Amino acid sequence: MKLLRPIVFAVALAGAFFYFTTYRSGRVGLASWPSRPDKVEITEAAGGGPLDQEEQNNISVYHKNIESVVNVTSRAMAFDFFYGLVPQEGQGSGFIIDKDGHILTNYHVIADARQIEVTLHNRKKYRANIVGTDREHDLAVIQIKAPDLVPMVLGDSRNLQVGQKVYAIGNPFGLSGTLTSGIVSSIRPVKEPDGMVIDEAIQTDAAINPGNSGGPLLNWRGEVIGINTMILSNVGQSAGIGFAIPINTAKAVLNDLVTLGRVRRPALGVRTIPIDPELADQMGLPADYGLLIVQVVPGGAADQAGLRGGNERAYLGNIPIMLGGDLIVGIDGERIETQQDLAQLMNNHRAGDTVRLTIYRGKRKMDVNVTLGEAREQV
């Protein structure tokens, strides 16, 4: 009897718990389950609200430029493991720069292509020819024959500020006419996968993906300020770090690309070493910065202008150099401290341009006018 009493009490307690928590609530729920209404009542937003200023500008930039952005499809041949020819196809973007059908894109978009096809925004396709290439700047100009083309407006990439609004239009993953937006994240030199360096590359967080290469980067007015060229990502798609070639770099070589098919890259015809305060003190130089000319290329631009190389043999570590040459400290009023400074200034000029070099010859400071030669003719 003593054992039976706790068991009966436990069963009664469990039954009461089941009645009040499950059975009873289930009956109430079934009794109160709603019937099907004749009409569903929902809350709708007021239709067609006005767009804010930023949205209006986004739409304006898109419609202003979308007809000028093209899809570039390149077809090439490669060898497989058994040395058999295998066709390969790549896609990129580009944009129309004049009514004659010239299109600016990246060199790597059309490199080694045997056939290039351009698809306009109206879905019409045209065979394209390569007009000119500049591998060093990853630029190329191709051309199509088509009526009623709308060229883009090329802006100015000087004095860009971090934080400026930018837009990218292109064909990521083959999705034509895609607009993304962001800001200028930084201005910095960037090395491309093939080892070439983009001076003052425009870094942006606007989404850039495979297929965007060669497409335009635009400012808030819809003017081209860069050519989208590469991303930094571990997964092969946008991670918020994309880079564009400044449009001024392209504008400086466009005429050569269209008229000559190549770039008449300028050269001073000198070999130099950068000078820092420690080296200047050891060599007894009159300035603690600049580029010391150790050799002048015979017959080159510097040689014809009367610049002098070194005449006294010395060693910089284990490297033999020649001392006693002119010290370059400026070009056209711009201070020159490194070989990168010199390269950036050369990018703003073409062969045949005349520049004013500020140099030290011994302790004497002087200006010398130099007519730039062509790099391909000077080693």
Residue 342 dihedral angles phi and psi, to the nearest 5°: -65, -45
Q: How far apart are CA 332 and CA 330, in angstroms?
A: 7
Q: How far apart are CA 359 and CA 340, in angstroms?
A: 18
Catalytic residue among 93, 181, 185, 213: 213
Amino acid type, 57: N
Residue for token digits 């898109």? 62
Over range 196-207, report the average pLDDT.
88
Determine whether 137 is an active site residue.
Answer: no
Residue 41 three-state SS: coil
Catalytic residue among 74, 108, 157, 176: 108
Q: What CATH number labels 165-259?
A: 2.40.10.10
Same fold, 65-143 and 165-259: yes
Residue 72 pairs in a beta bridge with: 92, 118
**What would be the CATH architecture of the domain defined by 266-377?**
Roll (2.30)
Amino acid 251: pLDDT: 92
Give the DSSP H/E element, type plus range, for residue 226: strand 224-231
The pLDDT tens digits for 268-318 are 999 999 999 998 998 899 999 999 999 999 999 999 999 999 988 888 878
Contacts of 42 (CB under 8 A, 6+ apart): none
**Which two three-digit tokens encode residue 286?**
């009159």
Please give the DSSP secondary-structure letter assigned to residue 149: -
Is the pLDDT at 347 greater than 80? The verdict is no
Determine whether 108 is an active site residue.
Answer: yes
Determine whether 238 is an active site residue.
Answer: no
Give the DSSP H/E element, type plus range, for residue 168: strand 165-170
Q: What CATH number labels 65-143?
A: 2.40.10.10
Q: How far apart are CA 250 and CA 133, in angstroms?
A: 11
Amino acid 318: pLDDT: 82
The pLDDT tens digits for 111-164 are 989 999 999 999 999 999 999 999 988 999 999 999 999 999 999 998 899 999
Amino acid 295: pLDDT: 92
Q: How would you class 233 by CB atoms within 10 Å of its CB: exposed for 0-12, middle for 13-18, buried for 19 or more? A: middle
Q: What is the pTM of this model?
A: 0.73
Catalytic residue among 74, 102, 134, 138: 138
Strand pairing class (216-218; 197-204): unpaired
**Can you give the residue ranges of every domain in the chain?**
65-143, 165-259, 266-377
The pLDDT tens digits for 173-200 are 888 889 999 999 999 888 877 777 787 8
Please give the DSSP secondary-structure letter assigned to residue 265: -
